[in-house]
Amino acid sequence: MKLNELALFGGDPVRKTPFIPWPRVVDGQKEKLIDTLMNDSWGIGSESIQLLEEKFALFHDAKNCIVIDTGTNALWVALKAAGVSSGDEVIVPPYTFIATVTAVLMANATPVFVDIDANTFNINPNLIESAITERTKAIVPVHIGGNPADMNSIISIAEKHNVKIIEDAAQAHGAEWDGTKVGALQNGGIFSFQSSKNMSAGEGGAIISNDDDFMDACFAYYNCGRHRDGDWYDHHIIGGNHRMSAMAASLLLPQFQTIENDMRTREKNRKKLDKSLSDMGLEITQTYDKVTREANHLYLLKYKAESFNNISRENFFEAMRAEGVYTYAGYKPLYREKVFHGKGNDFPWLKNINYSNISCPITEQISDLQSVWLTQNHLLGNESDIHDIINAFEKVTAVLKNNPEKFDTKLKE
């Protein structure tokens, strides 16, 4: 392969047209929106909201569901319902979206970071027990990219120490652990319907659980402190108004007709990418033995520069993007976020914690040097789309392997 074939250096890109846009309009959404607009309550008392809660609970093998305005608020509500309060600690992975930690801070608790498994990018259960103290109230396993965390191990640890589990399944719509959908495998779990998610309303969230008492507490925290069966102007706790609008529910309801086919398409295309890309020297993320289905919200890879003549991952990204396939690094360790440095007066309970001294080496290695992300819409394409992705990876990795000196010199010009 000649160097000038790379689009980065003036060649023709593999891909000249965008991939499937996301979110996308599905059949029935327009009609459902109009029906809600004309015939339903737009908020409190909406039949669309009630139907969404019923359908999402059923879809996720759960008894109960409450839909909420955002996934972040869903996690805050769930943590509060689990009893998390001032002075408590919550164990979280550092490799996740900031909302996982935002919700902990909003609950006046302290996030305790536990490093991840290099093979799955999920929290490493072997490191959790040593992070538990007398102040630990909950563990928040994040099913990163829609790939379930090791729930058997995490549940065993939580039960041993009488600690609650709130699953962050924001990216894991439809994912399964040992044949059961994630989210209600222990105390409860949350989902997001934000723009990028596999089910999207632009914004939105949900909590699911099989625990009636837990869901009663969730109801109070998300609905102004009210009891489920109490008087309308009777407020028992300080809760927020985090109710979903009927319009968001109406955008989501028709997606129950498409999500199964979407999941099958993503899985089929993921397998094609796994086979081809692993042959090129890129490492494919793994799953635990009990994972029976992934959501494939993100397609995650590991790039190891030593396999590509020590050309940096950032140079690899530049070349891939020039070929029309947008790859990127994704998350950085959350304890590096500015919220934990120069904390000011908003979080006085963090004042004596020096987050500069915290290091999770696997998270840092993956986020700084190795992680490669493709968003889920890349997995929804047809055979030609997947062929373009494979060709772009093949084209770039071949040059990284065979022409490293020319490649590196050209990028420095």
pLDDT digits (tens, 9 = 90+) for 112-125: 999 999 999 999 99
The model's confidence at residue 346, banded by pLDDT at 50, 70 and 90, is confident
Please give the pLDDT value at position 1.
47
The class (CATH top level) of 29-257 is alpha beta
Evaluate if residue 403 carries a pLDDT over 90: no
Which segment of 174-178, 203-207, 236-240 scores lowest on mean pLDDT? 236-240
The model's confidence at residue 324, banded by pLDDT at 50, 70 and 90, is very high
69 contact partners, CB below 8 Å, separation of at least 6: 203, 204, 205, 242, 243, 244, 245, 248
Please give the pLDDT value at position 3.
53
Q: Where in the chain is the domain with CATH 3.90.1150.10?
A: 3-23+258-412
Evaluate if residue 395 carries a pLDDT over 90: yes
Please give the pLDDT value at position 204.
98
pLDDT digits (tens, 9 = 90+) for 266-301: 999 999 999 999 999 999 999 999 999 999 999 999
The model's confidence at residue 413, banded by pLDDT at 50, 70 and 90, is low
Contact 220, 227 (CB under 8 A): yes
Contact 299, 144 (CB under 8 A): no
Which segment of 14-23, 230-239, 297-306 scores lowest on mean pLDDT? 230-239
The model's confidence at residue 410, banded by pLDDT at 50, 70 and 90, is low
The model's confidence at residue 5, banded by pLDDT at 50, 70 and 90, is confident
Stated pTM of the model: 0.96
Q: Where in the chain is the domain with CATH 3.40.640.10?
A: 29-257
Please give the pLDDT value at position 213.
97
pLDDT digits (tens, 9 = 90+) for 353-381: 999 999 999 999 999 999 999 999 999 99
Q: What is the mean pLDDT of residues 217-242?
A: 93
How many whole angstroms separate alpha carbon 216 and alpha carbon 227? 7
How many whole angstroms separate alpha carbon 11 and alpha carbon 323? 9
Evaluate if residue 209 carries a pLDDT over 50: yes
DSSP string of 33-97, one letter each residue: HHHHHHHS-SSTT-HHHHHHHHHHHHHTT-SEEEEES-HHHHHHHHHHHTT--TT-EEEE-SSS-
79 contact partners, CB below 8 Å, separation of at least 6: 90, 103, 104, 107, 109, 138, 140, 166
Please give the pLDDT value at position 91.
98
Sheet hosting strand 291-293, strand order edge to edge: 180-181, 176-177, 291-293
Evaluate if residue 344 carries a pLDDT over 90: no
Q: What is the CA radius of gyration of the chain?
A: 22
In which residue are the tokens 């914004």 written? 203
Q: What is the mean pLDDT of residues 198-206?
A: 98
The model's confidence at residue 343, banded by pLDDT at 50, 70 and 90, is low
In CATH, the number for domain 3-23+258-412 is 3.90.1150.10
How many whole angstroms separate alpha carbon 165 and alpha carbon 160? 12
Pick the closest to residue 91 from 164, 12, 26, 192 (CA basis): 164
Q: What is the mean pLDDT of residues 23-39?
A: 97
